[in-house]
Structure 1
C-alpha cells in the first residue's frame, strides 16, 4: 500500500522547534501546561525518526499506514493549538514597554484566565492522543515500520531499451538532431557530453538508446556501454556493471576507488561511447564522472536525467550539450496511440472518437502516458470503458491500472525533500490546466507555513527547483527570470491529486462531489467551474465540518463559500475570480488568517474592523468595487502585500513597516501623495499606482517622483489616463522594472514623459497604450529613444499600442 509521508515529515520536523519557541516566550503558563508542552516536544522528536524511516520505504502494511495517519492528524492539531495560543492568551496584542503597557498586560492576564483553562484542557487532550499513538506503535510493534523498498523500479525503463526502432513515433527528428550534436566534429577530439533532459515519461531513455544504437553501428568507437542508474543506485554495482559491459571483469573487492581506477585503465587509450541513463543526483554524477578520462580521442558520453541542473555539473573543460526533449505534437500522439491501441489501424472506430479525443487531451503529448493508456484500452470496445479507464489515469483502484506510469512518477516524487513534496501537492488545489500566478502561489505557500523563514525568495527557489525537476512547467519570465505563471501537466496533475487524496492533504470537491465527512478537512478546494450553471448561485454544503480547515479556495460562484464563522483556524481564504456577491460576515474573527484574496469578485467594501486580523500578510482586492480601505487597515503590522488596485488608502500608512508590495490609487483618502507617504519605507520592493484623471482633458495632474524618493523599490507600475510623469535625478536608485500603462496619448501630441534617463538601474521597460493616436505615438518615440540610450539590450523594451507590438 502506497503512503505519502513527505508532507507529514516536514511538519513533524518543524513542530518541536515551534514548541521550543513557545516555551521561551514570556507567557505565564498555568500549572502543568509547561510540562505538557515539554512532553509533546520530546515525544514528537522521537516520532520524527520513525517518520523519516517511512520515507525510505515504498510500501507499508495497513497498520503502519493507519499509524502514520494518526500522527498526521495530531500534528496538525498541535500546530493549530500553538498558533492559537498567543492570540487567545493576550488577544494578539503587540509587545510594548512602559508602565501603562505593564498595567494592560496584567489586566489581559486576568481577563484571559477562562481562555487559559480552555487552553490547558485542549493541551491535555492532545497529550492523551499522543500517548495513545505512542502506545499503539509499541503495542503493534510498529517501531521497525514494516515495509519494503521497491525492487522493480526499472521495469518500465527496461521496456524502453528494447523498443523496435520501426515502432517509434515522433523520435526520428530528435534521434537525428542528438546524433548530429554528438558526432559533429566541430573543432577538436575532446570528450563531448550530450545530456537528454525532460519530464518523467517523455521518452528520454528511448531516445538515448536509439542514439546509442545509431552511433554504435558506425563502428567508430572501440568500446561502448549502456548503464542505467536510478534514484537509489548502488554505485559499486553500477561501476561493476559498466566494467562487465566493457568486456572486463574485476576480481578485486568492493572498493569504489579501485573500480573507478580499473574503468579508467580500460578506457584510457580507447575511443569510447558510454550512455548513462537515469541520473538523479550530483553525487551520482560526481562518482561516475571520475571513470571517464579525457583522452582527446573523440569519446562521447550520453546522459539522461529529469533534473535540468545536473548536466552542468562536474565536467568543466569538456564540451557539453543539453537536449531538452519536448512532448509529442497532437498528430504524433494520435499516431502513437492508434499504433499501440489498434495495431495496423490508421483510424479510431467511429463510436469511440469522442472518448479518444478526450483521452488524448489528458495525455497531453506525454509518450509514456500515450503508450500506457493505449495498451490499457486496446481490448476495450465500449465508450463507457474508454472514459472510465482512460480519463481516470492514476487514481483508479482497478487491478489493470497504470502501475508503470504511476511508478515512474513515484520515483520523481519520492526523490523530493519533504518541503518540496508539500509545495507540489499544494498544486492539486487548483483546477486542472490552471495557469497559476507565481505571486499567488508562493504567498499562499508562505501563509501555509511551508517556507523556511517565510521568505518569498526562498519560495521562489522552491518553485524553480520543481521546475528544474520537470514537475512544474513555467509560463513566461519576468525581468529577473522568475516565471510569471506556472502549470502542471495533466498526467502529473492526476498523480498529485491522487497523492493529495491518499494523504488527506487536501479535500477536492466539485458540483457533483462533496467531501468525505469521515475525514478531517484540512484544505478545501471547491471547484464549480465545470458546472453548467457556473453563473448561478451554488448550494453551500452545510454538513461538512470545517473547524480544522487551514485553507479554503473557491472556483466558480461565491455563494458556495462556507460560513466564515465555521473557519476557526483558516490561514488562507482565496475567492479570486468568483462570481456573485461575497458574504464577509465573520471575516474579522479569523484570527489566524494570513492570506485573503477577493480579487476579481463583486466585493464593494471591506469590514471596518479588518484591522483585527493581526496575522494577515497578504490582502488582494484588485479588480473589485472597493473604492477605499477602512482606516483600521493601518493596524495590520504584519501585512507585507497590500494589493488594493484602484482603491484609495487611509492616512497613516507609514506605520506599516512590513510592507513589501503595494498596489493602490496614487492619492490617499486625505489627498496625500502615496509617493510621499512611502518615501522613507525601507522594505517596499514593488509599487503599482493608479492615477485615473477626473480632470478635464488636457488638464491632467503631473505625476512627480521627486529627488531621493522610493530608495528600495525595484519594480514600479504606473497606470494613468494619459502620460504625465516626471522622474527627478536620484529617484528610484534600485529600480529594475518599469511598466507604464496608459489609456490614451496626450491631446497636445507631447510625450508627457521626462527623466527616464535618471533611472540608471533600469533593466526592463514596458510601455502600453490602449488607444492608437498621435499623442500615444509621440510618447512611444520619446520613450523608445530614452530607453535605448539607457538599455543596451533592446530586448528589454516592450512597447504595445492598441494590442500591437511596436
Structure 2
C-alpha cells in the first residue's frame, strides 16, 4: 500500500468514487429484481430510493435486498419516504440510518440471527458451520411447517441474509457450499448499536465487570472479565474469542451463569477439567481450545449439549476419554476432539446417540461394531491417528 502511494504521488492510487447514476440504477435493479429492468409500478419509488443512496454500493445493495421480498406499492413508497427523509446528516450518519431502516424491515427471527454477528470481532471471517450451530444452541428460530433438519433451516436463514446483502460470502468449498462469511464494518456497528439498545449483547474490550441484564457477553480482550454478582439469570452465552493463557478460567466465575447455553473460549490454560463447567447443565454449545494435559472429560451431566468441541494444543498428543454417561446425551449433534476414546460401548438400556451427526478424532481402538451401532446416524466421521493412552481404563468406573 505504501509503495503504491509513493509510486502514484500526488494522486491517490485507489480513488474510491460513488457509482454513476446508471451504475447505481443497474445495481439496485439487479439486487431487487434479479435483472436490470424495474417494473413500471415501482419506478417512481425506485428512482427516489436510488437518488438518496448517493451512489454507495453497500446502501444500494442492502435497501434493494430488503425490497426484493416486497411486492406492494405501499411498501415501496414507505421505504422511499424513509430513505428520502434522511437529510442534513453527515455521510456516516446517513449510511447508518439507511442500514437501520433496512434492518427494521426484517422479520423478528432474521433480526436475531443478524444481530448475533455482533458477538464476533469486527471484520472477522466466520465459519458457517460454527455460526449455524451457535444459532441453533441459542434457539434463535423455531421449526415450522413440515419437519426439517435444524441445520437446513439455519442454512436457509443465512441465505436469506445473504440475498438481502446483509452478509457477504467469504469462501466456498469445491462443491459450491459456503464455508465462511462476514459482514461489512458498518453493518457490524449496526449490530452493536441495536443489540445494546435491546440489552442483548454486551461487548467488553478490557477487563471489566459484566452487567447482569444482557443475554450475550462477548469479551474482545485477553484479560477476561469479572462476574461479581451472585447469579446471571439472563445471560445465555459467553464468548472469549481471544486466548487467555495466563488467566485462570475459574476466576471468571462461570459458576454464576447457571442458565448458560453457549460457552465459546478460544484458548485457555487448564490442568484438569473444572467441575464448575461440568455443572453448567443448560449448556448446548461448548467449544474450547486448551493448553494443558487433560485426559478425562466428565461431561455426563451436560444432557442438553448439542455441540462439544474440545481441542488440545498440538503439542499435547493425548487421547481424551469420554465417560460412560456419554450415551445418555441424546441431544448431542457434534463431537470434536483431536483424539477421542469411549470408555464403554453403549449399554443396552440406553438408546443410540440418534441425533449425533458428526464426530472427529475417534480413536482407532474405538472402531468397533458396538461403538458404530451407538453412533449409526453419524454423517461425517474422522479417525484420529494418535495412539490410545496406556491409562485408557483409568476412569472406567466413572459415570
User: In the alignment, is the contact (CA less than 8 A) between 1:523 and 1:550 conserved in 2?
Assistant: yes
**Whole-angstrom distance in 2 between the partners of 1:469 and 1:651:** 49
Alignment of 1:415-430 (within 5 A): 415-430=105-120
| Alignment of structure 1 residues 245-264 onto 2, 5 Å | none
Does residue 640 of structure 1 match 2:333?
yes
The answer as to 2:370 corresponding to 1:673 is: no
Q: How does 1:494-533 map to 2 (within 5 A)?
A: 494-511=189-206, 513-515=208-210, 517=211, 520-529=213-222
2:134 paired residue number: 444
Gaps of 5+ in 2: 1-14, 50-61, 75-79, 81-87, 144-148, 389-399
Which of 219, 229, 234 aligns to 1:548? It is 234
- Structure 2 residue 14 is matched with structure 1 residue 197: no
Cα distance in 2 between the residues matched to 1:544 and 1:409: 39
Are 1:598 and 1:621, in contact at CA under 8 Å, matched by a contact in 2?
A: yes
Matching residue within 19, 36, 45 for 1:228: 45
In structure 2, which of residues 134, 143, 150 is the aligned counterpart of residue 455 of structure 1?
A: 150
Partners of 2:263 and 2:285 within 8 A in 1: yes
In 1, Cα distance between equivalents of 2:133 and 2:63: 34
| Matched residue, 2:360 | 663
* CA pair 666-170 structure 1, distance change in 2 beyond 3 A: same
- Identify the residue that residue 652 of structure 1 maps to in structure 2: 345
Equivalents in 2 of 1:437, 1:649: separation in Å? 28
In the TM superposition, what are the counterparts of 1:537-686 in structure 2 within 5 Å?
540-543=226-229, 545-556=231-242, 557=244, 559=248, 562-575=252-265, 577-581=266-270, 584-599=274-289, 601-602=291-292, 604-608=294-298, 610-624=299-313, 625=316, 627-631=319-323, 632-652=325-345, 655-667=352-364, 671-673=365-367, 677-678=371-372, 682-686=376-380
Tell me the TM-score normalised to structure 2 length: 0.69
| Alpha-carbon distance in structure 1 between the residues aligned to 2:69 and 2:47 | 12
Superposed displacement of residue 504, structure 1: 0.4
Q: CA deviation at 1:622?
A: 2.9
Secondary structure, counterpart of 1:586 in structure 2: helix
Counterpart Cα distance in 2 of 1:230 and 1:689? 58
Map of 1:340 onto structure 2: none
User: In the superposition, relative to structure 1, how do residues 411 and 651 fare at CA in structure 2: closer, same or farther (>3 Å)?
Assistant: same
Question: CA distance change for structure 1 residues 490 and 641 in 2, over 3 Å: closer, same or farther?
Answer: same
Describe the superposition over 1:426-447 as per-residue Cα deviations: whole angstroms up to 9, x where unpaired. 1111111121111111111111
Cα deviation, residue 461, structure 1: 1.0
- Distance in 1 (CA, whole Å) between partners of 2:114 and 2:173 is 22
- Structure 1 residue 689: deviation in Å? 1.8
Q: Deviations over 1:90-135 (max 9, x none)?
A: xxxxxxxxxxxxxxxxxxxxxxxxxxxxxxxxxxxxxxxxxxxxxx
Q: Please tell me whether residue 433 in structure 1 is matched to residue 123 in structure 2.
A: yes
Counterpart of 1:549 in 2: which secondary structure?
A: coil
Structure having the higher helix fraction is: 1
- Is the 2:284–2:304 contact (alpha carbons within 8 Å) kept by the matching residues of 1? yes
Q: Distance in 2 between matches of 1:226 and 1:455?
A: 39
Specify whether residues 553 and 648 from structure 1 end up closer, same or farther in structure 2 by C-alpha distance, changes over 3 A only.
Answer: same
Instruction: Report the alpha carbon displacement of residue 468 of structure 1 after superposing the two structures with TM.
Output: 1.4
* Distance in 1 of aligned mates of 2:322 and 2:376: 24
RMSD: 4.0
CA contact (8 A) 1:228 1:278 kept: no
1:535-578 residue CA offsets vs partner (Å, 9 max, x unmatched): xxx56443585343211111331536622321111111111x22
State the SS of the aligned residue for 1:404.
helix
Which structure has more RCO (C-alpha within 8 Å, separation ≥ 6)? 2
Assess, with a 3 A threshold, how the Cα gap between structure 1 residues 508 and 176 changes in structure 2: closer, same or farther. closer
Q: In the aligned structure 1, how far is the partner of 2:219 from the partner of 2:175? A: 34
Residues 420 and 618 of structure 1: CA distance in aligned 2, closer, same or farther (over 3 Å): same
Higher alpha-carbon deviation: 675-684 or 425-434: 675-684
* Secondary structure of residue in 2 paired with 1:525: strand
Deviation of 1:526 (Å): 1.5
Tell me, in whole angstroms, the C-alpha distance in 2 between the residues paired with 1:407 and 1:479: 38
1:657-806 equivalences under 5 Å are: 657-667=354-364, 671-673=365-367, 677-678=371-372, 682-692=376-386
Query: What is the correspondence of 1:329-340 to structure 2 with a 5 Å cutoff?
Result: none
C-alpha distance in 1 between matches for 2:215 and 2:378 = 33
Residue aligned with 1:612, SS: coil
Q: Deviations over 1:134-162 (max 9, x none)?
A: xxxxxxxxxxxxxxxxxxxxxxxxxxxxx
Residues 328-383 of structure 1 deviation map (CA, whole Å, 9 limit, x = unaligned): xxxxxxxxxxxxxxxxxxxxxxxxxxxxxxxxxxxxxxxxxxxx99x57xxxxxxx
CA contact (8 A) 1:648 1:665 kept: yes
Task: Report the CA distance shift for 1:483/1:623 in structure 2 as closer, same or farther (over 3 A).
Answer: farther
Q: Is the 8 A contact 2:123 2:184 kept in 1?
A: yes
Partner residue, 1:112: none
Q: For residues 503 and 176 of structure 1, what CA distance do their matches in structure 2 show?
A: 37
Structure 2 counterpart SS, 1:486 = strand
Query: What is the CA-CA distance between 1:693 and the residue it aligns to?
Result: 7.3
Report if aligned partners of 1:521, 1:545 keep a CA contact under 8 Å in 2: no
Per the alignment, do residues 551 and 408 of structure 1 end up closer, same or farther by CA in structure 2, a change over 3 Å counting?
same
The residue number in structure 2 matching 1:799 is none
Contact 1:540 1:560 in 2 (8 A): no
Structure 1 equivalent of residue 96 of structure 2: 406
Deviation at 1:452, TM superposition (A): 1.8
The equivalences for 1:113-512 within 5 A come to 170=16, 195-197=29-31, 227-229=44-46, 279=64, 280-281=66-67, 284-285=70-71, 402-453=92-143, 455-511=150-206
Change in Cα spacing, 1:522 to 1:539, as seen in structure 2 (3 Å) is: closer
Higher Cα radius of gyration: 1
Q: 1:495 deviation in Å?
A: 1.0
State the distance in 2 between where 1:231 and 1:413 align.
19
1:228 to partner: Cα distance: 2.4
What displacement does 1:197 show?
A: 3.4
Task: Give the direction of change, closer, same or farther, for the CA distance of 1:476–1:676 in structure 2 (3 Å limit).
Answer: farther
